């Protein structure tokens, strides 16, 4: 097994393993260590069925069964999740109390011209946060929400403060959020989901959120992954945010998705989402 940096800011490329077979104990330990420090693993040129993908990722933690299934698909086909629209930076289910631990995507159908996913290292962003900005956010909480009335399912600073009720799933956590295992500080604000920093007044909150975004999404915190068929990416859903540009409806782009953690129960929002023709 050979490990090399995927970029200066995050990620490890893993070569010399065939994930159709279980990882040797020492290889798994090395990969877990790399995941704990670089937050993303890239396994190129894999050939994995649905079950083999699930088995490979299950070595990093319990598989989530979203909608009762361990496997999902992100596709620009008419019935695909996310479709062809752009997605701004977020973590999956950051608006719940227990976001997934790890996410994985496998390149099934990749356009000849390529396709991209962007990743942002929120630990690095917390580490080099300017001292004055750090002092301003110490002890504050960020609110993550999803607007189920929006086809883009976004919040940002676009949900009117005070409108959060059962229509809008939301969660609070420290702006400077300790990582669940390493204790590393994560800058826990997300372009797609963070609508407020509390308990600040509305205007001050909005200004601070935008200021934090300007720091977080600097080019030196972001890596662009250009997909090839057979790529498997596994990343820490707390430390790393992801985004993508609009991908269009042709040619087909299909990524298989398997997650580690516990799938959230969003049933209490289902009726309101269905009324608006929106699904999470």
Cα(61)–Cα(54) distance, integer angstroms: 11
Q: At residue 169, does pLDDT exceed 90?
A: no
Lowest mean pLDDT among 81-85, 88-92, 157-161, 191-195: 157-161
Nearest to 224 by CA among 45, 49, 80, 42: 42
The tens digit of pLDDT for each residue in 207-239 reads 999 999 999 999 999 999 999 999 999 999 999
Please, which residues bridge with residue 87 across strands? Answer: 244
Residue 136: partners with Cβ closer than 8 Å, 6 or more residues away: 208
Report the first-to-last Cα separation within the chain, whole angstroms: 38
The DSSP string of 212-224 is: HHHHHT-GGGEEE
Of the chain, the percentage scoring pLDDT greater than 70 comes to 84
The tens digit of pLDDT for each residue in 68-89 reads 899 998 888 766 666 667 788 9
Average pLDDT value for residue range 177-191: 96
Identify the pLDDT of residue 157. 44
C-alpha distances (whole Å) from 192 to each of 62, 80, 160, 195 are 26, 20, 15, 9
Cα(25)–Cα(31) distance, integer angstroms: 10
Please give the domain boundaries of the chain with CATH numbers for all domains. Answer: 2-275 (3.60.130.10)
Identify the pLDDT of residue 31. 98
The DSSP string of 153-178 is: ---TT-SPTT--STTS-EEEEESEEE
Identify the pLDDT of residue 274. 63
Q: Phi first, then psi: what are they for 119, rounded to 5°?
A: -130, 140
pTM here is 0.90
Of the chain, the percentage scoring pLDDT greater than 90 comes to 66
Query: 133: which DSSP letter?
Result: H
């Amino acid at each position: 097994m050979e490990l090399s940096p995927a970029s200066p800011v995050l990620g490890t490329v893993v070569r010399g393993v065939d994930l159709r077979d279980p990882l040797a104990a020492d290889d798994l330990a090395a990969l877990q260590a790399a995941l704990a420090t670089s937050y993303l693993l890239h396994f190129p040129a894999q050939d994995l069925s649905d079950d083999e993908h699930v088995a490979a990722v299950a070595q990093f933690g319990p598989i989530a069964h979203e909608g009762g299934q361990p496997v999902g698909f992100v596709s620009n086909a008419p019935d695909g999740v996310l479709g062809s629209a752009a997605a701004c930076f977020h973590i999956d289910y950051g608006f719940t109390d227990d976001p997934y631990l790890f996410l994985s995507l496998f390149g099934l159908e990749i356009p000849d011209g390529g396709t991209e996913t962007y990743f942002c290292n929120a630990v690095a962003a917390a580490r080099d946060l300017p001292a004055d900005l750090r002092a301003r956010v110490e002890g504050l909480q960020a609110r993550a929400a999803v607007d189920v009335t929006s086809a883009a399912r976004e919040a940002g600073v676009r949900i009117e403060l005070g409108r959060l009720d059962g229509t809008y799933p939301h969660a609070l956590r420290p702006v400077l959020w300790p990582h669940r295992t390493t204790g590393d500080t994560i800058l826990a604000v997300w372009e797609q989901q963070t609508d407020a920093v509390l308990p600040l007044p509305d205007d001050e909150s909005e200004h601070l959120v935008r200021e934090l975004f300007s720091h977080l999404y600097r080019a030196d915190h972001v890596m662009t992954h250009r997909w090839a068929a057979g790529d498997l990416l596994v990343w820490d859903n707390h430390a790393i945010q992801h985004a993508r540009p609009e991908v269009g409806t042709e040619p087909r782009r299909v990524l298989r998705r398997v997650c580690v953690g516990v799938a959230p129960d969003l049933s209490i929002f289902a009726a309101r989402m269905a009324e608006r023709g929106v699904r999470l």
